[in-house]
């Protein structure tokens, strides 16, 4: 039986809608810290039918904005179509099958993931096109993968490999598991001081030959991650990224006649430099017909008010329409122990902090939102230190916070309310997003 290659056009929805829809029937209870107690005992669908307002939720809280999510979906889909690249967004950002479904419905080619547990979540929800942006060497995990590929003829999968020995280890484990379908793999090229990936072209070519010699593997392209080599949008950082991408393109040219699929993949592109990725890799599709250039940006859907607001190509002028932050934190002033200091009831267990601290945006009050002042200078596990918040940060006041880095926001919440408009005086909760970390 013929099986789809990772790069071949999809013939389905990309995800099984039934288990995603089934999440609306999950009974809500104390496990979900975002929810008020009056939701306990109801299903998600039943609770949303009561048209709850945000003021009924306690703090701390993380919310998503429905309008911003829709805007970002459409903006990124249009940009990729214009740039001539496919999008396989990194699902680890949200680990939310309902959001994956919206990304696939908006035209995403597939979903990218980072490890075996994430793959298992995706397969539980029927995602049928997955890229593992990593090398899978766990024999038990490879045995599970072999069973998935055998059981589902429509499942398209590709993994990475960065050394001849890792190719041999994968092959040994897959053959021991009785794999019935070969696993497509991409040779990963790295860079000095970066993450994984072959550090030079010779090792990358030797890895490709090891893949070709492995009965259970198929050489399907090249891959890399430029985000490990730079962390800002300065001239030197962008030059480093471009030089690396040109090395990746050169590796693709070198291996072009060795691929074991008619539609090889060349992939790079986190959420910071996907414009440069498209400039350097998209032309390969014209040079080598059948080549598919794939970017893997994951943070675009939620965006932020911090790191990605400053570094995203769509904030730096690569597109006509910028992305919008779709996530906000909400925290209450619970102490004013000394002049100029207020303590909020949200900390490291609730909000992201690795790429910048939360920023006060507004104070929610009975007369509508008002401007917020001050600076969050530190987070403890369950508290934020707000300096110079002024009288608006009175005891009991609820502040909306701008956040930085969605990847470390979602993992703190198993259920996230979606509001119709976070700028309204009284936002309504229109959906509940379930995550699986």
Q: How far apart are CA 265 and CA 296, in angstroms?
A: 12
Residue 1, pLDDT score: 47
Q: Is 143 exposed, middle or buried (0-12, 13-18, 19+ CB in 10 A)?
A: middle
CATH topology identical between 17-65+322-434 and 69-301: no
Q: Residues near 309 by Cβ (< 8 Å), separated by ≥ 6?
A: 303, 315, 325, 404
Which residue from 188, 175, 261 is spatially nearest to 214, judged by alpha carbons? 175
Residue 80, pLDDT score: 97
Q: Model pTM?
A: 0.96
Which residue from 326, 302, 343 is spatially nearest to 59, judged by alpha carbons? 343
Domain 69-301 has CATH 3.20.20.10: yes
Which residue from 307, 318, 250, 332 is spatially nearest to 279, judged by alpha carbons? 318
Q: Which two tokens stand for residue 258?
A: 């060795």
Q: How far apart are CA 133 and CA 260, in angstroms?
A: 20
Q: Residues near 279 by Cβ (< 8 Å), separated by ≥ 6?
A: 242
Residue 366, pLDDT score: 67
Q: What is the CATH number of domain 17-65+322-434?
A: 2.40.37.20
Q: How far apart are CA 79 and CA 297, in angstroms?
A: 12
Which residue from 148, 87, 147, 146 is spatially nearest to 123, judged by alpha carbons? 148
Question: Which contiguous run of DSSP H or E holds residue 412?
Answer: none
Domain ranges of the chain: 17-65+322-434, 69-301
pLDDT tens for the 437 residues of the chain, in order: 467 899 887 767 899 999 999 999 999 999 999 899 999 999 999 999 999 999 999 999 999 999 999 999 999 999 999 999 999 999 999 999 999 999 999 999 999 999 999 999 999 999 999 999 999 999 999 999 999 999 999 999 999 999 999 999 999 999 999 999 999 999 999 998 889 999 999 999 999 999 999 999 999 999 999 999 999 999 999 999 999 999 999 999 999 999 999 999 999 989 999 999 999 999 999 999 999 999 999 999 999 999 999 999 999 988 889 999 999 999 999 999 999 999 999 999 999 999 999 999 999 876 667 888 899 999 999 999 999 999 888 999 999 999 999 999 999 999 999 999 999 999 999 999 999 99
Contacts 24+ apart (CB under 8 A), 49-57: 51/428, 51/429, 52/428, 52/429, 53/426, 53/427, 53/428, 53/429, 54/330, 54/417, 54/419, 54/426, 54/427, 54/428, 54/429, 55/364, 55/426, 57/330, 57/417, 57/429
Strand partners, 272: none
């Amino acid at each position: 039986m013929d099986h789809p290659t990772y790069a071949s056009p999809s013939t389905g929805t990309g995800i099984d809608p039934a288990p995603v829809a089934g999440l609306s029937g999950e009974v809500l209870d104390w496990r979900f810290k975002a929810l008020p107690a009056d939701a306990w005992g109801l299903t998600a669908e039943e609770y949303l039918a009561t048209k709850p307002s945000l003021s009924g939720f306690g703090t701390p809280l993380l919310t998503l904005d429905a309008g911003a999510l829709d805007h970002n979906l459409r903006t990124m889909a249009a940009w990729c179509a214009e740039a001539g690249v496919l999008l396989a967004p990194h699902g680890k950002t949200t680990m939310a099958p309902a959001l994956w479904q919206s990304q696939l419905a908006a035209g995403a080619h597939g979903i990218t993931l980072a490890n075996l547990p994430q793959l298992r979540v995706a397969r539980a929800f029927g995602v049928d096109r997955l890229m593992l942006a990593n090398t899978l060497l766990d024999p038990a995990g490879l045995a599970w993968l072999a069973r998935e590929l055998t059981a589902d003829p429509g499942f398209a999968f590709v993994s990475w490999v960065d050394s001849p020995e890792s190719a041999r280890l994968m092959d040994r484990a897959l053959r021991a598991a009785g794999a019935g379908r070969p696993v497509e793999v991409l040779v990963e090229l790295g860079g000095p001081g970066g993450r994984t990936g072959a550090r030079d072209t010779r090792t990358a070519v030797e890895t490709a030959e090891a893949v070709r010699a492995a009965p259970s593997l198929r050489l399907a392209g090249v891959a890399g991650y430029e985000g490990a080599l730079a962390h800002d949008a300065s001239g030197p950082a962008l030059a480093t990224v471009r030089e690396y991408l040109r090395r990746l393109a050169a590796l693709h040219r070198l291996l072009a006649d060795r691929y074991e699929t008619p539609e090889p993949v060349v992939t790079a592109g986190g959420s910071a430099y996907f414009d440069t990725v498209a400039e350097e890799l998209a032309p390969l599709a014209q040079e080598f017909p059948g080549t598919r250039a794939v970017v893997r940006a994951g943070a675009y859907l939620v965006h932020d008010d911090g790191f990605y607001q400053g570094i995203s190509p769509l904030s730096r002028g690569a597109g006509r329409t910028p992305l919008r932050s779709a996530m906000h934190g909400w925290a209450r002033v619970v102490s004013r122990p000394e002049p100029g200091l207020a303590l909020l009831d949200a900390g490291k267990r609730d909000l992201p902090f690795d790429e910048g601290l939360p920023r006060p945006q507004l104070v929610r009050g009975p007369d509508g939102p008002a401007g917020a002042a001050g600076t969050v200078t530190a987070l403890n596990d369950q508290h934020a230190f707000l300096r110079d918040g002024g009288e608006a940060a009175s005891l009991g006041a609820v502040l909306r916070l701008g956040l930085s880095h969605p990847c470390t926001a979602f993992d703190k919440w198993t259920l996230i309310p979606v509001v119709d408009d976070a700028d309204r005086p009284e936002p309504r909760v229109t959906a509940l997003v379930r995550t699986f970390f």
